[in-house]
Chain A
Amino acid sequence: MRIVLWPAVALAILAGPWLLGGGGAVFSAFVLIAIFATMAYGLDVIVSDLGEVSLAHPVFFACGAYATAISTTRLGFGPVESFLLTVLTALAVAAVIGLVTLRLREFVFSLVTYAVTVVAMTVAANWAFLGGSDGISGIPLFSLAGWQARTDRELWPVAWALLMGAIYLVDAFRRSGLGQRAMTVHLNPELATMSGIDPLRTRLQVFLVSAPITAAAGWLYAYQRAYISADVLETYFLILMLTAVVLVGRRMLLAPLIGTALILMQEKFLSFGGYVDSIVLGGVLILVLSFLPGGLAGLARSGLKMARRGG
């Protein structure tokens, strides 16, 4: 069943923009949803499987965006080389952050990872190597083997492939020994230690799996936007990915994708303006974290149970 269902879902997503009319705005929306959902999948691994809330993930997103911007504009790298550099940069930064935060838990872990993002934003906005406050412009079109993605319509297959790759990786991670060890460490650290699992090593390994996924989103975002500045470290991206991860429900494979799509649809069709949208997003985050630990899916399940009892 799974062998048939997942390819069908993947193909339905690929065909989505054409099924919805095939307009330029539809393709742009799908490309952005794919990029931001990929960004959220990296964080999902930390939140859902490790049980921690990392506020440093915009840094990994920025790693991908800046590695691509710098390597394509100054070194003439193509998408493959810039992707490899993105992964290496993200792994290096994740190793440092992972080692620093290895023994920290919950509130302190979140606080330290947030401090990392604040420091990174200040550095990015003021360091000439990263373009300072002017940012880096002139990022070339996505070109591979003589083919160029001039529009979001042409970039959509790449964004789709990136998204599918992220979903596959997260699924494979959850089925792997590392994924199971991470859950054990998350749910019962004492049991994990007694079972011979090294919690610190597991946490670091999960961080190293998570960071390149979020960074890969930054890689494609750089090509899509053609300009990168310190704004990629703004709270807009942090709140977006956090809300996308918790909105629908944790440890559900399509939840970050559906969450990202819902948020971007709200932003596009039901926007109340900058400050109000931030309040709405922040409010949703507080609501879900405080009262709906199972997300919208949990709410739907409770509703169904009540309806059955009532029937």
Chain B
Amino acid sequence: MKRMIGTGLLVAAAAFAAGAAWAQDTVKVGVIFPLSGGAGPQGQHIAESLDAMATMINDKGGVMGRKIELHVRDDESTPAVGVSRANELIGEGVEVIIEGWNSPVTLAMQPVIARAGILDITAISKADPILSGEGNPLAIRFNSSNALDGAVIAKYIVDQGATRIAFLTENDAYGNGAQASIEAALNASGHAYEIVAVEKFPFDQADFRVPLSTVKAADPEITIAINANEGLGMPALIRQASRSRLPGTLVSAVGTVAPSVIEVAGEAANGVVGADIYFPQVEPFASNPVNQAYVAKMQEMHDRTPDKFMALAAAALQVWAMAVEEVQSFEKEAVANRIRGGSFTGTLLGDVTFQPNGQLDSNHYLFTVVDQKMVVEQ
């Protein structure tokens, strides 16, 4: 009996030592995205993408010799829940948090994460106040900004010579900011136009028949749909717009129509125009060996071709790991200052540069949906 107890204690001690060694050999990375609800599918794909990138980094020895351990949480697209999840991750001792699908959730989480002294990298959320420095003085964002996106959509409108414009806009920090930036860019271009209808809706709305009938009655040449609810709202909007025989062209705000949206919207998506900053099979990404390795890893691990959202989140983890290696520290300020205003070569997005305010520079590519595929204008 004594021998059994002795052996048990020995095993327990060994297990404890192994656990302690594992904890020493890993670095905790917090991940907060919606994993349920309207944007749940996209958030789950992002988690898969980070898993693939973490595996790629770990296969090469990890970050400063430590393996990445992802701690993934669901913000449920609700600011209050996002703040709770951020507090949980802070309590678990993560070194960095990669977050952000909904701008209101990001804006709510930023001060909490910043006060805890943890590096906060926003992957997707677009609202301009995210980079204002009020919530997070060391903000970093990978997705393109509303201001850049607005210029691209405005240029498309000018090139088409369209003058009657309608907006279907998500009524929150992201949606209103996106609409304001398109209008600002149009005004700056000197193009004469008229806003014939503006319909606003909450993030979780899925029935657009009433706003669409109002927009249809205004007879627009271009209707701009600004809806970050890619899992539910955007496909529903596209389908209902098609059924209502909305006149003119339906233009989606930059980055709101991914292949997953087209998959759900089906044939109704044909003819939708949009713009985005990453396409895995299109140059300059297609010939980038790092991107090729990432795409192959995603297919190997999750049987999925990455879209822009997945690629941006993976790039966030990759750039953070590169910065940590370069400054040889996990310390927030050192890493953030290396990224903000800095450049990196050999990322899955190619060679990238960040503005001093933490915004990643990116190029936009226009596309039209033809036969449920995104046909990119080169």
Contacts and interface: CB of A to CB of B under 8 A. Distances in A.
Nearest to A229: B104
B206 to A, nearest CB: 11
Given A133-B172, A225-B112, A275 B37 contact: yes
Contacts of A298: none
Interface in A118-151: 125-126, 132-135, 137-139, 141, 150-151
Nearest to A122: B171
A227 B111 contact: yes
Interface in A129-183: 132-135, 137-139, 141, 150-152
A37 B78 CA distance: 19
Interface in B132-177: 132, 134-135, 171-173, 175-177
Interface in A212-249: 225-227, 229-231, 234, 236-237
A222 to B, nearest CB: 11
A32 interface: yes
Given A268-B84, A271-B74, A151 B115 contact: yes
Nearest to B73: A271
A274 B175 CA distance: 21
Nearest to B172: A133
B82 to A, nearest CB: 10
Interface in B268-314: none
Contacts of B83: 225
A141 B107 CA distance: 17
Contact of B76 (A23, A126, A139, A277): A277
A185 to B, nearest CB: 34
Interface string B51-94: 00000000000000000000000101111110110011011100
A127 to B, nearest CB: 12
Interface string A8-24: 00000000000000011
A307 B5 CA distance: 43
Contacts of B35: 273
A198 B84 CA distance: 44
A227 B135 contact: yes
A168 to B, nearest CB: 26
Interface residues of B, number: 38
B36 interface: yes
A264 B87 CA distance: 13
B235 interface: no
A267 B84 contact: yes
A230 B175 CA distance: 14
Interface residues of A, number: 40
A26 interface: yes
A254 to B, nearest CB: 22
Contacts of A274: 34, 36-37, 40, 74, 76-78, 81
A32 B76 CA distance: 17
A226 B114 CA distance: 10
Contacts of A229: 79, 104, 107-108, 173
Contacts of A276: 36
A133 B171 contact: yes
A226 B78 contact: no
A231 B76 contact: no
B127 interface: yes
Contacts of B87: 24-25, 28-29, 32, 152
Interface of A: 23-29, 32, 125-126, 132-135, 137-139, 141, 150-152, 225-227, 229-231, 234, 236-237, 264, 267-268, 271-277
Interface of B: 34-37, 40, 74, 76-81, 83-84, 87-88, 90-92, 104, 107-108, 110-112, 115-116, 127, 129, 132, 134-135, 171-173, 175-177
21 contacts: A23-B91, A26-B91, A27-B91, A29-B87, A125-B171, A126-B171, A133-B176, A135-B107, A141-B115, A225-B83, A225-B111, A226-B115, A227-B107, A229-B107, A229-B173, A231-B108, A234-B78, A273-B36, A274-B37, A274-B77, A275-B37
